């Protein structure tokens, strides 16, 4: 099939795409949209023979479960995948300045004529949600996972220290991507200090965010967490050491590291423990595992937009004298006044200032 190897149209938009999750990089050159394709995109898409969901990536190959296999009940966390590459031309329903492909994407694929299990990605369907960050050292928006309904923002009450600023970043990223956040406070068996208890209540009562208090060791909150994962695609994000693996293990009796080791044997892949991978849960539902996500740099956020993500400022910001107001130095700032009165906790405002500075 030379069709996919043809030179891109002269006026087409060439883009470099990289699927990168800490360290491993898959560089691709693909054409998002060519002028010729703009005229007859259906013709291009008509080459696809099946639809599937990207569940992982290994060196320069995307692992795709076809629609049929994907929707079967799953006793084990993974199914045989199609090994897919991008050919010369890939059309997309998504924006061109973000990763062309990501784990969780629904794609349309053409079979390789000689091998049932190999395919070429022809088209990427519209993402419903996208959890993204700025890729380390680059400007491009890196989509960590697509079409994820719920993000569990895992933090621990201690070991490592609870970082309010990281939690606020996580909340912003979830809102930007249209993903529903659930805050998980793990390791409550270590005792919840009163100041953290106050923080938990603030996020729940003032910001209306669902909270799960868990102990992977003692079993607290595990059935609740499991119920929240049922029937949706979710993702666990959090600093290393907060207990993400332990929580998955407590919920489903599986260790994701072990599952990865087994699935790798099936997929003939080698050393890709750091890439995102989508797994099926026995209860129905999918979980995207993203090991080694140490950094979380916000992308696509202008400094003057930041305050809109701090919903506890909403009530006060219309009363600021200057509009727009950055709530930093302007006189008669209603948000700062609210902080001084103690209705907005100082730590929350501090977190706003620190994130603002980082933009
Ligand atoms: P991950 O890096 O987020 O996947 O964290 P892990 O699941 O590897 O856990 C990091 C460490 O925290 C391990 O030593 C776990 O045994 C411990 N840990 C995880 N959950 C809990 C918990 O609920 N309570 C306590 N006390 N320790 C936990
Ligand atoms: Zn203000």
pLDDT, greater one: 77 or 214: 214
Query: For the chain, how are helix, strand and coil distributed in percent, rounded to 5?
Result: 30, 30, 40
User: For 76-97, what is each residue's pLDDT tens digit?
Assistant: 888 888 999 887 788 888 888 8
240 CA: nearest ligand 1 atom: 2
Question: Which pLDDT value is given to residue 124?
Answer: 93
- Closest ligand to the CA of 319: 2
- Could you tell me if the CB of 217 is within 6 A of ligand 1? yes
* Mean pLDDT, rounded, of the chain: 84
Q: Is the pLDDT of residue 201 over 50?
A: yes
pLDDT confidence bin for 211, thresholds 50/70/90: very high
For residue 339, say if its preceding peptide bond is cis, omega within 30 degrees of 0: no
92, 126 contact by CB (below 8 A): no
Q: Is the pLDDT of residue 15 over 50?
A: no
Q: What residue's CA is closest to ligand 1, atom 25? A: 187
The tokens describing 227, both together, are 């119920």
249 CA: nearest ligand 1 atom: 7
Question: Which pLDDT value is given to residue 139?
Answer: 67
pTM for this entry? 0.87
The tokens describing 58, both together, are 């290994």
Nearest CA to 137 out of 248, 297, 266 is that of: 297
- Could you tell me if the CB of 157 is within 6 A of ligand 1? no
- Compute the Cα dihedral for 247, 250, 251, 254 and give only its sign: positive
Q: Which residues contact 348 (CB under 8 A, 6 or more apart)?
A: 164, 168, 202, 310, 312
Q: Which of 36-50, 75-89, 237-251 has the highest mean pLDDT?
A: 237-251
Q: Is the pLDDT of residue 104 over 90?
A: yes
Question: Which pLDDT value is given to residue 155?
Answer: 95
Give the domains, in start order, of the chain with CATH numbers: 3-124 (2.40.50.140), 130-289 (3.40.50.300), 303-358 (1.10.40.50)
Give dist(CA 276, CA 202) in Å, integer. Answer: 32
Question: Which pLDDT value is given to residue 99?
Answer: 87
State the average pLDDT over residues 23-28. 42
- Could you tell me if the CB of 243 is within 6 A of ligand 1? yes
State the average pLDDT over residues 58-80. 87
Using the mean position of ligand 1's atoms as its centre, give its distance from the Cα of residue 71 in Å. Answer: 32
State the average pLDDT over residues 291-320. 89
Q: Which range is least confidently modeled, 8-22, 180-194, 314-328?
A: 8-22
190 CA: nearest ligand 1 atom: 26
| Helix (H/G/I), strand (E/B), else coil: 23 | coil
Q: Is the pLDDT of residue 21 over 50?
A: no
- Could you tell me if the CB of 86 is within 6 A of ligand 1? no
- Could you tell me if the CB of 299 is within 6 A of ligand 1? no
DSSP 35-85: HHHHH-HHHHHTT--EEEEEEEEETTEEEEEEHHHHTS--SSS----EEEE
Nearest CA to 142 out of 93, 203, 85, 98 is that of: 98
Q: Which residues contact 59 (CB under 8 A, 6 or more apart)?
A: 24, 26, 269, 270, 272
Q: Which range is least confidently modeled, 20-24, 102-106, 137-141, 349-353?
A: 20-24
- Could you tell me if the CB of 222 is within 6 A of ligand 1? no
Q: Is the pLDDT of residue 264 over 80?
A: no
What percent of the chain is modeled with pLDDT above 90?
A: 57
Q: Which range is least confidently modeled, 79-93, 141-155, 234-248, 256-270?
A: 256-270
Question: Which pLDDT value is given to residue 140?
Answer: 72
């Amino acid at each position: 099939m030379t069709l996919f190897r043809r030179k891109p149209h002269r006026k087409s938009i060439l883009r470099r795409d990289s699927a990168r999750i800490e360290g491993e990089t898959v560089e691709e050159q693909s054409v998002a949209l060519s002028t010729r394709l703009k005229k007859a995109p259906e013709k291009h898409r008509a080459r696809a023979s099946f639809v599937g969901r990207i569940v992982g990536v290994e060196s320069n190959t995307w692992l795709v479960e076809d629609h049929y296999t994907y929707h079967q009940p799953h006793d084990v966390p993974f199914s045989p995948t199609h090994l897919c590459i991008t050919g010369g031309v890939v059309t997309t329903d998504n924006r061109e300045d973000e990763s062309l492909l990501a784990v969780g994407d629904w794609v349309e694929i053409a079979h390789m004529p000689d091998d049932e299990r190999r395919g070429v990605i022809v088209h990427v369907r519209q993402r419903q949600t996208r959890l993204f960050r700025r890729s380390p050292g680059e400007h491009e928006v890196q989509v960590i996972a697509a079409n994820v309904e719920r993000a569990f923002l895992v933090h621990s009450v201690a070991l490592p220290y609870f970082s309010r600023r990281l939690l606020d970043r996580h909340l912003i990223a979830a809102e930007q991507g249209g993903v529903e956040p659930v805050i998980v406070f793990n390791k409550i068996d270590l005792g919840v200090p009163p100041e953290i208890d106050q923080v938990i209540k603030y996020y729940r009562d003032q910001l209306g965010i669902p909270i799960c208090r868990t102990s992977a060791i003692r079993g607290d909150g595990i059935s609740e967490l499991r119920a929240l994962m049922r029937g949706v695609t979710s993702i666990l994000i959090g600093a290393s050491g907060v207990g993400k693996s332990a929580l998955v293990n407590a919920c489903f009796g599986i260790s994701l590291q072990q599952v990865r080791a087994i699935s790798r044997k099936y997929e003939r892949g080698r050393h890709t423990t750091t890439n995102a991978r989508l797994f099926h849960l026995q209860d129905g539902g999918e979980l995207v595992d993203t090991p080694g996500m140490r950094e979380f740099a916000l992308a696509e956020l202008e400094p003057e937009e930041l305050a809109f993500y701090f919903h506890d400022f909403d009530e006060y910001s219309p009363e600021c004298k200057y509009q727009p107001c950055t709530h930093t130095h302007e006189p008669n700032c209603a948000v700062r006044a609210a902080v001084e009165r103690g209705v907005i906790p100082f730590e929350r405002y501090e977190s706003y200032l620190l994130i603002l500075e980082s933009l």
